[in-house]
């Protein structure tokens, strides 16, 4: 398809109608990681600035945004399937505006146009601050728009980081991106493609944002970055170690809890371990992806650590902070993974005893190195995943059981989906807790006694 083909689409909006649409409603469907969840929040704020109002009802929305993820095939399939359903809806309601944002938008703009010509605009991961103007353009000019430039890093490139909207509704828990992109290029991963080169936000901007969020009522901050603990490179003000940033965030009044996602094992150093121990606001939970328990597979993945060096970090963490919770990500069926290599992963999981894991079947991502390697059969991947999940569930329960009787602190997030007398929240170690309470404790830090251990977390009683 040539680039001129891309500009041809039927005109479906009349100018008169576009005025009514400006005061219409929007619906955002989000897939993917916390970075995307946070981007959707930013998108919402930009749309509200130009007069749109939120709706939970897709079938009544005048503007529908798909904030997409490309990390595995499944979320991409879901996005294309939703675009298919929206094509039917748009035939009935030609005024409907459809936009695609996020990681799939970044790398598949042409494919989206080809497979879904009813899409009105495509905005990549580094341009979401242009969404207001783009929607206005669609309304006024009735043609397709796209914004998919990705900044390259040239030395200190902090000026290329978009401004962020922080005038948001008070939220108990807020995500704060501190680093964009990724330079690691793990051979299975599409993220360096979709998010571009690693860029750190200036510390002052981060602290300003955290202060504003605290004023609006945020108590828990999660700092986001693909390799969050390598934060601080390429800053004009000079290198700021991640552990130093944590201390600075902790100085902000009103912030009670600090989390971060995801640290990269090679950069997990003693200063960070000491900060988790010494800084009361930094939670005793580390989510550190191991990906595989076999050194040859790790090498083929281009992960820059070994099973042994990973275990050394775990040992130092557990010796320094005995109540630390450790969770991880694991991929099974990476190209060429043998049964023996998979067994090495099972053994490392048995050995380390993670409190929990996100476990995935390897998914081919075109354009990455692993896509061209010899693939493992689908049924083998499925079988390995099932065995790993079973093992991890047993370990999770095994690790939760001895915690029964412990007193822990929970940040109350609200009532549970099933029962409006049962409140829920997370412990400092990021374990889910359900407990009954006679009054609304949402937003409060409470002490509970853990009384019933499950794979999902604990039933507890309020002290």
**Which residue from 244, 267, 312, 329 is in contact with ligand SAH, where contact means CB under 6 A?**
329
Residue 72 near ligand SAH by CB under 6 A: yes
Site for ligand SF4 in 161-190 (CB under 6 A): 182, 184-186, 189
Our finding on whether 365 is near ligand SAH (CB under 6 A) is yes
Nearer to ligand SF4 among residue 228 and residue 321 (C-beta) = 228
Q: Which of 179, 363, 392, 396 binds ligand SAH (CB under 6 A)?
A: 363
Query: Which of 18, 262, 341, 400: binder of ligand SAH (CB under 6 A)?
Result: 262
Nearest to 409 by CA among 372, 448, 382: 448
Beta carbon nearer to ligand SF4, 218 or 226: 226
Q: Which of 103, 213, 300, 326 binds ligand F3S (CB under 6 A)?
A: 103
Evaluate whether 276 touches 286 at the Cβ level (below 8 Å).
yes
289 binds ligand SAH (CB under 6 A): yes
171 contact, one of ligand SAH, ligand SF4, ligand F3S, none, CB 5-8 Å limit per kind: none
Residue 25 beta carbon to ligand SAH: minimum distance, rounded to whole angstroms: 32
| Shortest separation between residue 266's beta carbon and ligand SAH, angstroms | 11
70 binds ligand SAH (CB under 6 A): no
Which residue number, 72 or 90, has a Cβ lying nearer to ligand SAH?
Answer: 72
- Select from 13, 21, 69, 71 the one that contacts ligand SAH (CB under 6 A): 71
Nearer to ligand SAH, 139 or 190 (CB): 190
Minimum distance from CB of 367 to ligand SAH (Å)? 11
69 near ligand F3S, rule: CB under 6 A: yes
Which one of residues 226, 230, 327, 344 is an interface residue with ligand SAH (CB under 6 A)? 226
Q: What is the closest distance, in whole angstroms, from the C-beta atom of residue 336 to ligand SAH in the complex?
A: 14
- Which residue in the set 227, 275, 363, 400 belongs to the binding site for ligand SF4 (CB under 6 A)? 227
Partner touching 360 among ligand SAH, ligand F3S, ligand SF4, none, CB below 5 to 8 Å by kind: ligand SAH
Residue 194, contacted partner among ligand SF4, ligand F3S, ligand SAH, none, CB below 5-8 A by kind: ligand F3S
Contact in structure between 319 and 277 (CB atoms under 8 Å): no
Interface size with ligand SAH, residues (CB under 6 A): 17
Residue of 144, 138, 226 lying closest to 186 (CA atoms) = 226
Q: Residues interacting with ligand SAH, by CB under 6 A?
A: 71-72, 188-189, 191, 226-227, 262, 264, 289, 291, 329, 331, 360, 362-363, 365
């Amino acid at each position: 398809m040539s680039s001129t083909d891309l500009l041809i689409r039927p005109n479906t909006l009349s100018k008169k109608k576009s005025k009514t649409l400006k005061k219409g409603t929007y619906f955002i469907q989000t897939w993917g990681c916390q970075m995307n969840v946070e981007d959707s929040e930013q998108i919402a704020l930009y749309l509200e600035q130009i007069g749109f109002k939120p709706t939970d009802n897709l079938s009544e929305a005048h503007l529908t945004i798909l904030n997409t993820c490309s990390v595995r095939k499944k979320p991409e399939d879901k996005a294309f399937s939703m675009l298919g359903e929206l094509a039917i809806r748009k035939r009935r309601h030609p005024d409907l505006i459809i936009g695609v944002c996020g990681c799939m938008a970044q790398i598949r703009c042409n494919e989206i146009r080809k497979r879904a010509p009813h899409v009105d605009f495509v905005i990549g991961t580094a341009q979401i601050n242009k969404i207001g103007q783009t929607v206005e353009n669609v309304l006024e000019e009735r043609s397709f728009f796209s914004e998919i430039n990705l900044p390259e890093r040239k030395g200190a490139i902090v000026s290329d980081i978009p401004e962020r909207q922080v005038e948001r509704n008070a939220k108990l828990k807020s995500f704060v991106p501190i680093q964009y992109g990724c330079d690691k290029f793990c051979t299975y991963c599409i993220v360096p493609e979709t998010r571009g080169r690693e860029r750190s936000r200036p510390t002052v901007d981060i602290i300003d944002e955290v202060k504003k969020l605290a004023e609006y009522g945020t108590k828990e901050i999660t700092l986001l970055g693909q390799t969050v603990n390598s934060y601080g490179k390429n800053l004009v003000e000079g290198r700021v170690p991640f552990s130093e940033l944590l201390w600075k965030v902790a100085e902000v009044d009103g912030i009670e809890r600090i989390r971060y996602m995801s640290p990269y094992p090679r950069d997990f150093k003693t200063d960070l371990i000491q900060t988790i121990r010494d800084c009361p606001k930094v939670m005793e939970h580390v989510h550190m992806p191991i990906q595989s328990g076999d050194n040859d597979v790790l090498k083929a993945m281009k992960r820059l650590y070994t099973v042994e060096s990973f275990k050394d970090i775990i040992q130092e963490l557990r010796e320094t902070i005995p109540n630390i919770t450790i969770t991880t990500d694991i991929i099974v069926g990476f190209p060429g993974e043998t049964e023996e290599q998979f067994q090495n992963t099972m053994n490392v999981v048995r050995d380390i005893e993670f409190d929990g894991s996100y476990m995935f079947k390897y998914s081919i991502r075109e354009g990455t190195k692993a896509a061209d390697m010899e693939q493992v059969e689908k049924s083998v991947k499925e079988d390995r995943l099932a065995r790993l999940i079973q093992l991890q569930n047993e370990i999770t329960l095994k690790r939760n059981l001895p915690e029964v009787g412990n007193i822990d602190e929970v940040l109350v997030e609200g009532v549970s989906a099933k029962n409006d007398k049962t409140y829920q929240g997370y412990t400092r170690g990021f374990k889910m807790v359900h407990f009954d309470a006679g009054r609304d404790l949402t937003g409060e830090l409470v002490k509970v006694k853990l009384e019933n251990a499950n794979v999902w977390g604990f039933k507890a009683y309020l002290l």
